[in-house]
Amino acid sequence: MSVPNSARTRLTRRITLGGLLAGVLGALSATALTGCGIAPTGVIDAGEPAHGLKAPGKPAPDVQLYFLGPTGLRPASRPATAPVGPEEAINLLLKGPNDAERQRGLTNVLPVLPGRVTAETEDGKVTVHVPMNAKRLDTPSMSQLVCTAANASVPGARSPSEVLVTLVGSNVRVGPMVCGGTNAFPFIQPSPSSTLPD
């Protein structure tokens, strides 16, 4: 099949123009990527996200309550007008999840307690007094109390994972414990021999 000369010329011009346009766009892209003077780098570890108290003049930190969800203990943030201490946070916890939290599948597994829960705080430590034998609380209930207390406003400027929480009830002490993310764990004091240099 023969192609007329005029059609062949138009086809050749289109191919040439298309190749020229692709070359120009490639050169512009390369110039745009390298022209800013910033050399490429590898992945830079920025560390953990910032946490702690908000700066003065900012709204008070939210209160973190810990409820049991379909995949384990989960935090639920609620707005607060002022810093919330452990006792107030635990009292909010005892009232159970609100509608939005229930829709997320969160539930309260704490038993119905026969009295009031109180909390004492000191530098990085919380003692929670429960109106029952503290050892009779199951692990999810202990985790709810410990993580809620540790994430409240505790004097001492420690991170929530470093706050020591002790449960006391019927002259029985459990702890100190720490909140390791979404569960409570016994606090293990490093032995003196492990801190000495080799």
**How does residue 47 score in pLDDT terms, banded at 50, 70 and 90?**
very low
CB 174 within 8 A of CB 135: yes
Domain segments of the chain as ranges: 62-186
* Residue with more model confidence, 103 or 16: 103
Put simply, whether the predicted model's pTM sits higher than 0.75 gets the answer no
pLDDT digits (tens, 9 = 90+) for 121-158: 999 999 999 999 999 999 999 999 999 999 999 998 88
Residue 53: pLDDT above 50? Answer: no
Output the pLDDT for position 82. Answer: 84
Q: Could you give the CA distance from residue 101 to residue 110 in angstroms, rounded to a whole number? A: 16
Give every CB contact of residue 145 below 8 A, 6+ residues apart in sequence. Answer: 90, 93, 110, 128, 130, 137, 165, 167, 184
